[in-house]
């Protein structure tokens, strides 16, 4: 809310009145997650000439696309519901086939691609956009079937070239 106050010229009100107004806004908008509220407030600031009312901020916040965090939670809840419908408690229930698993992985986004393809090195840290780590000896053995430290695997003729 402080960013929203700064976005508009100061009204001719006392500090006490401005503080009380912000308290009312904060109380009335407390049911909206902070990231959604911030996106809505900034959208309202871009489109409205005067300081927006509580209902205008609420409408702007609800019209914003869902943040990735909420989209992931929604996808996860859908997977859990699907599992419950298929009979999660029934151990004889059909398991997910590989093609279904690939479809789910594709729907959840590319950051799960490394989990779907164990031959690929996994990204470092929690950032899926960051490059993969340097391949380890185990990666070379798994991908090429050759231990890079094994002298018998090295052709002396190729080394001379």
- pLDDT tens digits for range 3-49: 555 556 666 777 888 788 888 988 988 888 888 888 888 888 888 88
pTM over 0.75: no
pLDDT tens-digit series, residues 48-62? 888 888 899 889 888
What DSSP character marks residue 90?
A: -
CA–CA gap between residue 75 and residue 107 (Å, rounded): 9
Per-residue confidence band for 69, with pLDDT thresholds at 50, 70 and 90: confident
Q: What is the pLDDT of residues 118-153, one digit of tens each?
A: 565 555 566 655 555 666 777 777 777 777 676 655
Backbone dihedral region for residue 50 (phi beyond 0: left; psi -120 to 50: alpha; all else: beta) = beta
Cross-strand pairs, 132:
123
pLDDT for res 121? 57
For the chain, which residues make up each domain, given as ranges? Answer: 2-63, 69-133
Looking at residue 126, its pLDDT comes to 62
Could you report the per-residue pLDDT of 73-127, keeping only the tens digit for each? 878 888 888 878 776 555 555 677 788 877 777 777 655 555 555 565 555 566 6
Residue 47: what pLDDT?
86
Q: Is the dihedral of CA 126, 128, 130, 136 positive or negative?
A: positive
């Amino acid at each position: 809310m402080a960013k929203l106050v700064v976005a508009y010229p100061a009204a001719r009100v006392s500090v006490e009145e401005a503080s009380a107004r912000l308290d009312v806004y904060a109380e009335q908008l407390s049911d909206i997650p902070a990231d959604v509220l911030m996106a809505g407030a900034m959208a309202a600031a871009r489109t409205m000439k005067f300081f927006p009312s509580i209902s205008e901020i609420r409408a702007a916040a609800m019209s914003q696309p869902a943040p990735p965090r909420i989209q992931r939670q929604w996808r996860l809840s859908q997977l859990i519901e699907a599992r419950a419908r298929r009979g999660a408690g029934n151990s004889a229930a059909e398991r997910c086939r590989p093609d279904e698993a690939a479809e789910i992985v594709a729907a959840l986004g590319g950051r799960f691609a490394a989990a779907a393809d164990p031959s690929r090195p996994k990204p470092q840290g929690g950032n899926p956009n960051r490059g993969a780590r340097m391949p380890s000896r185990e990666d070379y053995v798994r991908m090429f079937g050759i231990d890079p430290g094994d002298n018998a695997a090295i052709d002396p003729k190729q080394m001379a070239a």
